[in-house]
Amino acid sequence: MTRTTPPRPVDIAEHFPELRRYSATATRLHPRPGGPSTADSSIGGPLLWPSDEPWPVCDDGDDHYIFQLQTPATVRRTREIYAAAQARADASGTRYELTDEELAELPDIDFSEPHDLVKQPIPLIPVAQLYRRDVPDFAGPQGTDLLQVLWCPLDHPKEGHNPRVRLYWRRAADVTRPLETAPEPPVVSDAYLPEPCVVHPERVREYQYGGLLPEQLDARIVAWEKAGEAGDEDETGRSYHYDLSLAPGWKVGGYANWSLTDPYPMDCTECGTAMTLLFTADSSEWHGTGGSWRPVEEPAQALSGPTEVVIGRGYALYVFRCPVSFEHPPSTAMQ
């Protein structure tokens, strides 16, 4: 099934033609739980990985910030239990309730595996695998057709308490002997273990975050929004920030939403060049139940967090790349 973003309530570029200069396309990935293979683009799915290439690990050990650690198996079982209870409630129209057996199986609320487990090298986990053919806004070195995003599923204080992201580009045809089973970390922070999802890429148009537009233009847009509030009832959907500029959810390309901290420069640590947004991992796919970004195929009560990934308190993790060279290291920002 495809996923289709509803038309924007207002074509903002008609009101402010100069916005076209501050516009870019993005590919919304629309991840939904499924059973992707290594031949598919996916979130949290298996990677097409050469068996003779070492699987990347994180050696940060004691430098991780450790709160609660769980084995990937426990995280998956916990999600299964909640999903089963939800399915029963949906099917019978009764209240959501866990059975005594299910309650007994769930880990205690403050449970953690021993913290010492992070002293060993932690295998990174697959976050995204994106084939160029599937993603109109794919960016990568010439000759590559596959981007793989991995992260260490623990908090890194030196990187804003975020998972540490590594990017790999390759040519799928070069992987003649794929790895059969990827190593798994002994423990994870449960919010950083994505559910295996298939993707439904869709290209949308975005406009730069308000705080990064020329001041005058931003001020005129704000005035236009306010005029709408005071005006007639039909003038809804005038929020540049929520409805007209930036798509929420997992995406490739486009712009970052800087509403948590206000914008700060993202410059390449190698060469100092201003970086561009490559990839976004988001805690939710649309805002609230009435959000204008919910695909038309989704019912109002559909869950907006299909990947189960949660960044901070429901924020997004933006991964930037250097426009000068794909070999320069990526940077991340949580917003």
The footprint of Zn ion (CB under 5 A) covers 58, 60, 152, 154, 268, 270-271, 273, 322, 324, 328
Q: 164 or 251, CB closer to Zn ion? A: 164
Q: 212 or 271, CB closer to Zn ion? A: 271
Q: At 274, give phi and psi (nearest 5°).
A: -60, 130
Q: Least distance in Å: CB of 267 to Zn ion?
A: 8
How close are the terminal C-alpha atoms of the chain, in Å? 30
DSSP state of 269: T
Polymer length of the chain: 335
**Whole-number Å distance between alpha carbons of 105 and 30:** 32
Q: Least distance in Å: CB of 149 to Zn ion?
A: 15
DSSP state of 298: S
Q: 162 or 283, CB closer to Zn ion? A: 162
Q: Least distance in Å: CB of 320 to Zn ion?
A: 10
Q: 236 or 269, CB closer to Zn ion? A: 269
Q: 189 or 304, CB closer to Zn ion? A: 189
Question: Measured on CA atoms in the order 315, 237, 303, 107, is the torsion positive or negative?
Answer: positive
CA distances in angstroms from 216 to 11, 212, 311, listed in the order given: 20, 11, 33
Q: Least distance in Å: CB of 250 to Zn ion?
A: 21
Q: Least distance in Å: CB of 317 to Zn ion?
A: 14
Of 235, 287, 236, 279, give the one whose Cα is nearest residue 259. 287
